[in-house]
Amino acid sequence: MEIIDFEAHFYTKEYVKALIKNKSYPKYKKDREKNIHWLWYAPNVLEPHTGQLLERLLDLSEKRFKDMAEAGVKMQVLSLSAPGCEQFNPPLGTKLAKKVNDELSRIVEKNPDKFVGLAALAPQDPGEAADELERAVKELGLKGWKTHSNIRGTYLDNKKFWIILEKAEKLGVPIFLHPTIPLIRELRKSYGYALAGPAFGFTFDTALCMMRLILSGVFDKYPNLKFVLGHLGEAMPFLLNRLDFPFVRPWVTQGVKMKLSKKPSEYFKNNVYVGTSGESHNSALICTVQTMGYDKVLFASDYPYEHTAKAVDRINALPLSDEEKTRIYHLNAKNILGL
């Protein structure tokens, strides 16, 4: 069966150089003895990148093709890996995003049957980012935007970013909302990457950003806006009915001005797709597919951080019909990316 992997990450050499050169956060530091690069998201929050992982992130040819073939993946949807361009100062972030998009476009053009690309942007300069999204889609042939759960101290529901959301809706391209380390101080303090990283903080920061977007009314303003969440919807499918609590018990919202035409769960089911990435428990995967419906779930592995063949095995083992699996493996991705 044809498989498209919606969550596959890369770095460019120039991006790595920028991380190494950066004086503030995020930055990259090499431990030569251990052959590990440490990605410093913030003080005390360090992610280890082994030599092998970095090699995989930088390789967009033979080694990656081999991994794809072994897992039976025909095509990867490429996106710049975390921390992306969102945390740099605005001019540097904007410059980096453009260079990444230029290179990504060249790689996709060279391998049109193997790769599709999502643009990187620096929303900290919203006007430039909106223009760059248009250039990336119209001139470079990229198919959407991959962003991170917070941007230099704020979330995407902030109205200054809506110019980019408006552009995405107008261009008809999806926004992949990917985790990064959380803004909430208590999630960064005391336990480093164990609390702030993928095990916990990543998920809750991304779910928080998504919930803020829903409550902001952005989906009433831009009803055709499409978001994608990775990692089984960052736990939100599990919480879906509970998200509606203030709306089915309206006294709870007293004193808060919120005008939404639908319940939060309805926006989530209408405007959000979820990927299957992450080393997840099988019952969580089944819950996600049943809650979202098989037409809203995208196969995703989080390459090269996770093992793609195992991610395929987990979907193969689900009690789903061939038609349902076909949708999850490639039809939904083709639909949302306009392939």
Choices 27-35, 45-53, 88-96, 301-309; region in contact with Zn ion by CB under 5 A: 301-309
Q: How far is the CB of 64 from Zn ion (least distance, A)?
A: 15
Lookup result for tokens 């909430």: 184
Active-site amino acid positions:
302
Q: How far is the CB of 111 from Zn ion (least distance, A)?
A: 20
Total residues binding Zn ion (CB under 5 A): 1
Closest to Zn ion by CB, 47 or 302: 302
Per-residue CA distances from 43 to 23, 31, 47, 70, 181 (Å): 12, 17, 11, 38, 11
Q: How far is the CB of 244 from Zn ion (least distance, A)?
A: 28
Q: How far is the CB of 7 from Zn ion (least distance, A)?
A: 5
Choices 34-42, 54-62, 240-248, 300-308; region in contact with Zn ion by CB under 5 A: 300-308
Residues 6+ apart with CB under 8 A from 313: none
The SS3 assignment for 94 reads helix
Of residues 119-148, those binding Zn ion (CB under 5 A)? none
Alpha-helical segments (H) within 172-279? 185-188, 192-196, 201-216, 218-221, 231-234, 236-239, 245-248, 264-271
Q: Are 152 and 97 in contact (CB under 8 A)?
A: no
Choices 167-175, 221-229, 241-249, 294-302; region in contact with Zn ion by CB under 5 A: 294-302
Q: Are 142 and 118 in contact (CB under 8 A)?
A: yes
Q: Out of 103, 128, 169, 302, which residue is the one contacting Zn ion (CB under 5 A)?
A: 302
Choices 34-42, 47-55, 295-303, 330-338; region in contact with Zn ion by CB under 5 A: 295-303
Torsion over CA: 306, 310, 316, 320 (sign) = negative
Phi, psi of 175 (to 5 degrees): -115, 115
Residues 6+ apart with CB under 8 A from 337: 77, 116, 143, 144, 173, 174
Closest to Zn ion by CB, 80 or 315: 80
Q: How far is the CB of 146 from Zn ion (least distance, A)?
A: 9
Closest to Zn ion by CB, 78 or 133: 78
Closest to Zn ion by CB, 11 or 219: 11
Position 234 contacts Zn ion (CB under 5 A): no
Greatest alpha-carbon span in the chain:
60
Q: Which residues are near Zn ion by CB under 5 A?
A: 302
